[in-house]
Structure formats: C-alpha cells, structure tokens
Amino acid sequence: MISTLPTLNSRDDSVSNAPSLFVLDVGHGSCAVLRDSGYVVVFDSGPAFPLLRFLQEEGISKIDLVVISHSDEDHIAGLIGVIACDKISISKVRLNSDFVKDSKVWIDLMWELNQKHRAGDIDLGISLTTADSGQFNFGEIEIEFLAPDQFAASTNVASNKHRSRRFKSNSRSVVVRLSRGGQPMVFLAGDIDEIGFNALLNNCPNPHAPILVYPHHGGSSGANDESAFAEQLCNTIKPTTVLFSIGRGKHETPRPEIVETMRKLVPNLRVACTQLSKNCCADHASPLLHLTALFAAGREQKRCCAGTIAITLSSPLTISPEEDLHKEFIHEAAPEGLCIRQIGTEN
C-alpha cells in the first residue's frame, strides 16, 4: 500500500547516524554503498576507479558484502581495483550466475576473486536468487533479492526463450529492495529488462519503494516500448523519486520518453541523475555549489548533476543534494532539462 511508505523530505547534510545508502556518481555505470550499523554493503561496483576513491575518502577499509547484479563491465570493473588493492578487505562477494558476457574484464574479476578465495580471504558465492533474501541483514536494513528467482537464474540466456520472447542476460539481473522495519525504501533495479521484471512480478506483485534507481541507467532496455516499460515500473513500484546513474555524453541516457512518461504519471516526481545528461544541455558553465562533499566522478570535469546521492534510510527519508538547491542548479545549467521542462499531463 502506498500509504504505508515513508514520505520523502530533503536535507542538506549527508552525514547521519541512521543507515545511509550512497548512489555513487561513477560516470556511466552502477554502484551503491550501504552503511548500516557499522556494516558496509556494496551493490555493483561501477567502472574503474570511482568506488575505490569513494571508499578511501569515506575512510572505509572493510566491506562486509559485495553484491554484483550481473556481469556488465560498467557494474563490475570497480571491484577489481578494490580486491587488488591492499588497503580494503572484503568479507563476502555474491555474484549473479550470469556468465554469458564472458568479457576480458569479467575474467579479470574472476582471476582476482579466485586468488583471494583460495587464500581464504573472501567468501565467494556464485549465485544470487530470491531465496537469498534475508541472508545478509547485517544491521537495521533488510536486504531483499526480488530477482532472479531460481527459474530465471537457471535459464540459459544464450539459447532459451522465455514466454516466446528472448531472455537475455539483463533479464536475470539481480534486483534488490532495501527496507527498514518492514517499510520498503529503495528499489535497486540493476539492469533488469521488461521480461525479467515481469518474472519478478510473479514472485513479488507489490514491489513498492519510494525511491527507484532506474534500470539500465534509463537507456534502451530492449523493451518493445520504453515508455510502456517506464509506465509499468511507475505503476508497480510507485516511486516518488527516480534516480538515474549515468555518464554525461554516454549512451544518451536517460531517454527523454522514459523521464517524460514517469513525470506524467507521478505528480511532483523528483528526478535526479548523477551526471548532467547531454539530453538536458550540451554545455554549461554553472558552478556545482549544490553538491555534497562526497566523492563524485564528474566533479572535476563539471559533469555532475546531482553527483553522488546520499539517502538517509529513516522515516522520513532524506536525500542529498537537497531538492531545492539541486533544482536551482538545473534551472541555471539546463533550463530545458528533462526533469523540469514543461510537459503535458495526463488525466
């Protein structure tokens, strides 16, 4: 029920004793870090170096769990650096059993992980399904795995078909929902596509969460109609805030029709992208005064929009950067930004 969901407030400071989730600005890619009661959980590791910089700047030297949603390079490459460096320890790594994208970077990751696993330094698991929900609730935050279920995880993505449509690697991306005290808070969609999401709904018909980290960076998901998929996500997850983890100038994300569809369906929807989309403005010279002090990959090159986004997982939820300041920046830097431009409303 939507009425049971916590409300959203905005707050300027990013430091709090309550559990916090940081949706990192890693450029094009995905990475989120949960800090909860002294524990640290990383959901996807983004590309290359940003995760390492974030962990260093936040003084994090121990990670209790890393969850990898699927094997795309923009979700895994950052972990290679964290494992290899001799400054941060990792207790557990759980990978989605998605090996179809056997890229060199994936093999790099497995080579590195295998060394640490054989040395007894990392507890490595090559499977993540809905059955793992509740296995990793270290602190106050409940970590639910909404997808893939055992059937999806065991489907051969290279050859099989699923309900007469192509079942791809992204179809079985791990999807996570974070809740506190039974109240859903954040939906981390990984790169789930329409087929995978429909399979998710079979197991979890009410996947509500006030904050949605949009799948596949708001790019093409392979759906027949991206607007219809966005509408389905809106109607089932019922978010009041949608976050896009994007790299400025990469893959033309987020797609305008996705943002427009969601804004039409949800009055006062807050939309925040980690970096400023080229779909919002080609160039800008606006100062980034609204950003938090947290590391953001786009800060130096002035590619940030919201930068790294900090969510305090309390009731009410709070988000930094604060919405008014962020909007002020968007109005100045990108007056025709996708999240503020005039749109016709339905109903």
Q: Cβ 133 to another protein, closest distance in Å?
A: 31
* C-beta separation of 87 from 64 below 8 A: no
Q: Cβ 215 to another protein, closest distance in Å?
A: 22
Q: Which residues bind another protein (CB under 8 A)?
A: 47-49, 52-53, 73, 77-78, 80-81, 84-87, 104-105, 108-109, 111-112, 115
- Closest Cα partner for 212 from 238, 232, 193? 238
Alpha-carbon radius of gyration of the chain: 19
Nearer to another protein, 45 or 253 (CB): 45
For residue 179, what is the enclosing H or E element?
Answer: strand 175-180
Q: Cβ 274 to another protein, closest distance in Å?
A: 18
Nearer to another protein, 81 or 239 (CB): 81
Nearer to another protein, 62 or 87 (CB): 87
Cα–Cα distance for residue pair 275/250, rounded to 1 Å: 10
Torsion of CA 308, 8, 136, 194, to 10 degrees: -80
* C-beta separation of 271 from 259 below 8 A: yes
Q: Cβ 38 to another protein, closest distance in Å?
A: 25
Nearer to another protein, 86 or 283 (CB): 86
Nearer to another protein, 111 or 123 (CB): 111
Q: Cβ 49 to another protein, closest distance in Å?
A: 5
Q: Cβ 29 to another protein, closest distance in Å?
A: 11
Tokens 């890393």, residue located: 66
Nearer to another protein, 112 or 260 (CB): 112
CA–CA distance from 219 to each of 134, 252, 279 (Å)?
30, 7, 12
For residue 158, what is the enclosing H or E element?
Answer: none
Q: In the structure encoding, which two tokens stand for residue 39, read together?
A: 């524990």
